[in-house]
Amino acid sequence: MSVLVTGGAGYIGSHMVLELVEAGERVVVLDDLSTGFAESVPREAVLVRGDAGDQELVGRIIGEHGVDAVAHFAAKIVVPESVADPLGYYLANTGKTRSLIEASVRAGVRHMIFSSTAAVYGDVTANPVSEDLTPAPVSPYGRSKLVSEWMLADTAVAHDFRHVILRYFNVAGADPAGRIGQSTPRATHLIKVACQTALGQRPVLEVFGTDYPTPDGSCVRDFIQVSDLARAHVSALAHLRAGGGCLTLNCGYGRGFSVLEVVAAVKRVSGVDFPVKLSPRRAGDPAAIVADASRIRALLDWQPRYDDLDAIVAQALAWEKRLAQQSAA
């Protein structure tokens, strides 16, 4: 049997593919390469260039490769962009997910792992946040993911189709062996942007909002290392294949760092005191959100290996240096 990974040439998806390949799984990646990179896909995996919302293509891949599980990463992920382009986000994140679910059910696939987000919780008033909190997303991005979660839940009632929904907090870092990392040039991930600024690739790092009700006024986030997150997906797959039921789980460490604390960590690890510009808040950004990550540790065979901010920053910085060397070659 094979695992179909949509968006498997992207940042998080490619780390999932690497984990699956190293576990001896047969993997098919479906990616339109609009933000992903073919070179991020291990050569042991099959790469198909195409749209996750193309039902005919998805059905053909499932039949030809004997797919028994789908890991769905393909999505748009930038909160401010979703505020400016809500219809684009509902198409990419909701409409195409619906098409993928339907194609999977029609082809007899029984297992799906869905890439969701802590943005479904919205502007929370207390932390840490458990999965029992009623979702109240404040951005089209968060809403587009929540509607997809509802579709999965309804599909599981009507069909023999089980799923694990993983709600990511802030993903960061790179493969500790340096094989893959966050390669999107215009990515908005804080640690990546800060590392690029430390390397002189950006003139200044912009911090959005310093008047939040947090200890230093900047947003507080729970940062999870990308390989740890990928292993959570592999554990979710094992859970489903063993006959486990549908789950919705937070993916974080249960500890928050402010934006300014992260900036200080990048300066400390890089040894560069790069310029920082303090700017107004962005639309759709909650003040603080930290995971209650007890459920995933209890229900899946998963424990973090890289829960260290400086180590995560060092991985990201090493990856940015590698990208710069490749560009210069």
Q: What is the DSSP string of 290-302?
A: -B--HHHHHHSS-
Is 176 within 8 Å of 228 (Cβ atoms)? no
Residue 208 token pair? 């959005």
Phi, psi of 277 (to 5 degrees): -110, 125
Residue 229 token pair? 């997150």
Phi, psi of 49 (to 5 degrees): -85, 120
Handedness of CA 230, 234, 239, 245 (dihedral sign): positive
Q: 155-178 burial, b for 16+ CB within 10 Å, e for fewer? A: beeeeebbbbbbbbbbbbbbbbee
Q: Which has the closest alpha carbon to 102: 72, 75, 82?
A: 72
Radius of gyration over alpha carbons of the chain, in Å?
19
**In the chain, count of helices (H) and strands (E)?**
11, 14
Phi, psi of 112 (to 5 degrees): -140, 135
Position 119, amino acid = A
Catalytic, 11? Answer: no
Say how many CA atoms lie within 13 Å of 104 toward its Cβ. Answer: 32
How far is residue 204's CA from residue 190's CA, in Å, rounded to a whole number? 12
Q: Which has the closest alpha carbon to 111: 56, 169, 51, 71?
A: 71
Q: Write down the catalytic residue from 89, 121, 141, 168.
A: 141
- What are the angstrom distances between the C-alpha of 9 and each of 74, 188, 262? 9, 18, 27
Q: Which residues have a catalytic role annotated?
A: 141
